[in-house]
């Protein structure tokens, strides 16, 4: 029997129809590209809150599996801490960074495939490379924080609702799990996920043509939100004896409204007739919410356990009373904070922290020497350069999106419209929630702003895919006419 050697054309055809093995290799390469900041920095990136997430996992795990309860479990997400615990065991953080990069790579693969199902590998790798080099995607994917899960949650909602037919059953299960973990890992993710469900329901009510087709996936994502909220209620009830969605959270709203000014004015005017715990500090209220909550001599850090409890209990009555007394002034301050958060998405929060270094002794003792040798620990990361690159990338992306908006609506692509609505809504809502409720901090918006360049790239990819299809249809029509 004669064996023929494959021609160049045959090899090209094989590459156009990649097997599952080649798909897996592409996703692995994508994860490797995303992880480059860890190799550049010589250690996974850390933020002060990272050490709390890493350290709290053991305490919560002991309570759940060994019934060794504690009086205090921390104030961060227990679910993020629990999931990453088997990947670090308070020994090394490299597996955690690898897990996070792999999840980002997988979700991006599914997004790209939903727009380019026939030739996915090359567009996918180009997209990942561009996002890794010109945005904060890679930096926040390698940061040991639940921040990377937010964009994955919103992209999962897009895939489950608008690109459901492109997903295999096992892929949908993975997206369910990612979404559940993301929602349970941060209060902001829960609020934004609930808001997205409302937006999706509103879209169904407005456009009833796809009602029967979209109602099931919308109900599914709503069920994921409900399940995540129920999981939080159950865990906090088990640990503390009472249900809660956020555990022992500091009084963020109290700190915010005092720093804005109206809260201070209200207390100075009414503390003579009130018995609130905050009134004990009316003469030394800080003008910065960060100092109020985390300063060594700040009101919250120096408060007794009873005062902390009272500050939390009195928070909502205090905020409502202030809003009734100074609605216009507070709205003005909140609007300024929202705009400030929307336009601030730099990398300054990735700078070194002496507190992080101090925590290694109890949280990651064997990894301290490796961290000390990192660029982050030595404060030599090129953060200003990263700021400049990302700012230009976002501006260029906004220009591209603006150009493609008329084409988007003229062609009426349900997937691209759905992705656009989700990304625009999230970028705006994230700034609104974090800027007005907590504080204006670069990290809050930087963790989601890379979705804007992603949307611009998808617009170009979708346009190219439609051009190819149009050329193919024209060629087929010409051949049909010639045959006739």
- Beta strand residue intervals within 41-98, DSSP E: none
The C-alpha atoms of residue 152 and residue 32 are separated, in whole angstroms, by 18
d(CA 376, CA 361): 18
pTM over 0.85: yes
Backbone torsions φ then ψ of 45, nearest 5 degrees: -75, 145
User: What's the pLDDT at 409?
Assistant: 66
In angstroms, rounded to a whole number, what is the distance separating the alpha carbons of residues 278 and 402?
Answer: 48
**Pick from 48, 168, 185: which is nearest to 113 by CA?**
168
- Predicted pLDDT of residue 372: 94
- Cα atoms in the Cβ-side hemisphere of radius 13 Å centred on 413: 21
Rg, Å, the chain Cα set: 25
**76 Cβ contact partners less than 8 Å away, ≥ 6 residues apart:** 49, 52, 53, 56
Q: Rounded CA gap, 375 and 372, in Å?
A: 8
Structure tokens at 441: 């901090």
Sign of dihedral through CA atoms 130, 134, 137, 139? Answer: positive
- Give me 155's structure tokens: 């992209």
Of 455, 413, 354, the closest CA to residue 131 belongs to 455
CA–CA separation, 222 vs 217, rounded Å?
9
Q: Which letter does DSSP use for residue 143 in this model?
A: B
Neighbours of 294 (CB within 10 A): 15
**Could you state, in chain order, the average pLDDT of each consecutive group of 10 residues for the chain (484 residues)?**
44 53 94 97 95 92 88 82 95 96 98 91 96 97 96 97 94 96 94 94 77 81 95 89 75 88 92 87 84 81 84 89 94 94 92 90 92 94 95 96 79 85 96 89 94 95 77 66 64
User: How is residue 191 written in tokens?
Assistant: 């609020």
CA 13 to CA 33: how far, in whole Å?
26
Residues in contact with 330: Cβ distance below 8 Å, sequence separation at least 6, in sequence order: 257, 260, 262, 322, 323
**Taking every pair of C-alpha atoms in the chain, what is the biggest distance, in angstroms?**
101
**Which tokens go with 124?**
């996918």
């Amino acid at each position: 029997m004669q064996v023929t050697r494959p021609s160049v054309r045959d090899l090209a055809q094989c590459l156009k129809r990649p097997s599952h093995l080649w798909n897996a290799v592409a996703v692995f390469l994508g994860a490797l590209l995303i992880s480059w900041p860890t190799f550049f920095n010589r250690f996974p990136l850390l933020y002060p809150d990272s050490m709390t997430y890493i350290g709290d996992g053991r305490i919560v795990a002991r309570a759940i599996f060994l019934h060794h309860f504690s009086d205090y479990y921390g104030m961060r997400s227990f679910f993020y801490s629990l999931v990453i615990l088997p990947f670090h065991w308070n020994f090394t953080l490299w597996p955690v960074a690898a897990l996070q990069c792999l999840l980002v790579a997988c979700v991006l693969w599914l997004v790209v495939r939903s727009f380019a199902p026939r030739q996915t590998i090359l567009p996918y790798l180009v997209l990942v490379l561009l996002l890794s080099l010109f945005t904060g995607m890679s930096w926040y994917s390698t940061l040991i924080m639940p921040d990377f899960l937010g964009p994955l949650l919103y992209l999962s909602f897009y895939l489950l609702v608008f690109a459901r037919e492109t997903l295999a059953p096992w892929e949908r299960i993975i997206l369910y799990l990612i979404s559940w973990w993301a929602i349970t890992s941060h209060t902001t993710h829960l609020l934004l996920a609930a808001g997205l469900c409302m937006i999706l329901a509103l879209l169904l009510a407005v456009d009833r043509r796809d009602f029967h087709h979209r109602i099931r996936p919308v109900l599914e994502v709503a069920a994921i939100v409900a399940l995540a909220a129920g999981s939080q209620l159950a865990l906090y009830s088990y640990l503390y004896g009472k249900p809660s969605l956020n555990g022992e959270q500091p009084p963020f709203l109290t700190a915010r409204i005092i720093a804005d000014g109206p809260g201070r004015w209200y207390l100075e005017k009414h503390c003579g007739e009130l018995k609130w715990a905050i009134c004990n500090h009316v003469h030394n209220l800080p003008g910065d919410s960060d100092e109020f909550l985390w300063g060594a001599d700040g009101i919250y850090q120096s408060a007794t356990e009873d005062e902390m409890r009272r500050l939390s209990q009195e928070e909502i009555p205090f905020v409502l009373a202030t809003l009734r007394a100074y609605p216009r002034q507070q709205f003005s301050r909140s609007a300024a904070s929202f705009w400030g958060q929307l336009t601030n998405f730099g990398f300054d929060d990735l700078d070194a922290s002496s507190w992080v270094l101090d925590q290694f002794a109890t949280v990651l003792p064997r990894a301290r020497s490796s961290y000390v040798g990192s660029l982050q620990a030595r404060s030599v990361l090129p953060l200003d350069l990263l700021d400049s690159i990302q700012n230009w990338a976002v501006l260029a992306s906004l220009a591209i999106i603006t150009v493609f908006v008329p084409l988007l609506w003229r062609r009426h692509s349900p997937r691209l419209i759905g992705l656009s609505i989700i990304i625009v809504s999230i970028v705006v809502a994230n700034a609104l929630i974090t800027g007005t409720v907590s504080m204006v901090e670069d990290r809050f918006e930087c963790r989601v702003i890379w979705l804007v360049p992603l949307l611009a790239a998808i617009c170009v990819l979708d346009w190219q895919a439609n051009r190819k299809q149009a050329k193919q249809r024209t060629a087929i029509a010409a051949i049909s006419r010639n045959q006739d």
